[in-house]
């Protein structure tokens, strides 16, 4: 994971500090936005894997597991290719989900597929897949709901749908699942900024700084946002 530099790496012609542009701030965040999401996927695989191990003797689950594995082998790697038809993948995935009767072992595949689509810029298709995941899995388990919604919040932000992202982040803060809480607050602070709510953004970033671990990238990013806001106010 790339380390985030908390000090302001931006000086004007006269040597004085000047704020980063919005695009530069986005570039700083994007360096580790996807790795954090990938980390969540690893956690999911562990949670789901335990459930599969507990039920591996059940014939139906074994059958469904084989179907998910076969689908993964046949389709998943193709998502990384620019020429692959993402819409067709979603149609095939929906058919798989129906065939395996919403089998939990398909959940990690849904998340990893949505991640790949996000990275490629197929945002509309990623949204369709995540909304499917929310409908299929979120009501059955708070952790599954968390893993879907933390991606939805990031996706809505990338799509410029800041109000939708705000609503999802608020739901995450109310969730009994408290994973990546500092990241959720950082995302919320950034959404406040994009909605023009500077004081709320400042309060939220300060919360991350006060309550997060000092060496964490999320805390470093919160400090960077705070520094950038202060410099912007001096202009």
Q: Name the H helices within 55-122.
A: 59-75, 86-99, 107-120
Helix (H, G, I), strand (E, B) or coil at 17: strand
**Long-range pairs for 59-63: beta carbons < 8 A, 24 or more residues apart:** 61/103, 61/105
**Tokens 């790795």 identify what position?**
35
pLDDT in tens, 22-58: 555 565 555 555 545 555 555 555 554 545 544 444 6
- Cα–Cα distance, 179 to 143 (Å, whole number): 9
* Average pLDDT of the segment spanning 74-88: 87
Q: How confident is the model at residue 2 (pLDDT cuts 50, 70, 90)?
A: very low
Q: What is the pTM of this model?
A: 0.78
Q: What is the CA radius of gyration of the chain?
A: 20
């Amino acid at each position: 994971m790339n380390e985030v530099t908390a000090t302001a790496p931006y000086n004007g012609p006269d040597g004085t500090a000047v704020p980063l542009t919005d695009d530069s701030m986005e570039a700083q965040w994007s360096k580790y936005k996807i790795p954090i999401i990938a980390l969540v996927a690893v956690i999911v695989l562990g949670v789901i894997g335990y459930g599969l191990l507990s039920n591996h003797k059940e014939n139906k689950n074994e059958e469904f597991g084989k179907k998910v594995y076969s689908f993964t082998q046949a389709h998943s790697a193709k998502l990384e290719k620019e020429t692959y038809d993402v819409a067709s993948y979603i149609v095939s995935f929906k058919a798989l989900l129906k065939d395996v009767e919403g089998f939990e072992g398909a959940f990690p595949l849904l998340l990893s597929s949505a991640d790949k689509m996000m990275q490629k810029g197929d945002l509309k298709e990623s949204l369709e897949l995540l909304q499917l995941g929310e409908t299929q899995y979120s009501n059955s388990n708070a952790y599954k709901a968390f893993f879907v919604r933390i991606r939805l919040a990031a996706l809505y932000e990338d799509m410029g749908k800041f109000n939708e992202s705000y609503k999802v982040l608020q739901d995450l803060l109310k969730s009994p699942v408290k994973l990546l809480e500092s990241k959720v607050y950082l995302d919320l602070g950034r959404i406040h900024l994009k909605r023009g709510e500077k004081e709320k953004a400042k309060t939220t970033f300060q919360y991350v700084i006060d309550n997060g671990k000092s060496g964490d990238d999320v805390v470093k990013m919160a400090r960077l946002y705070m520094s950038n806001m202060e410099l912007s106010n001096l202009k």
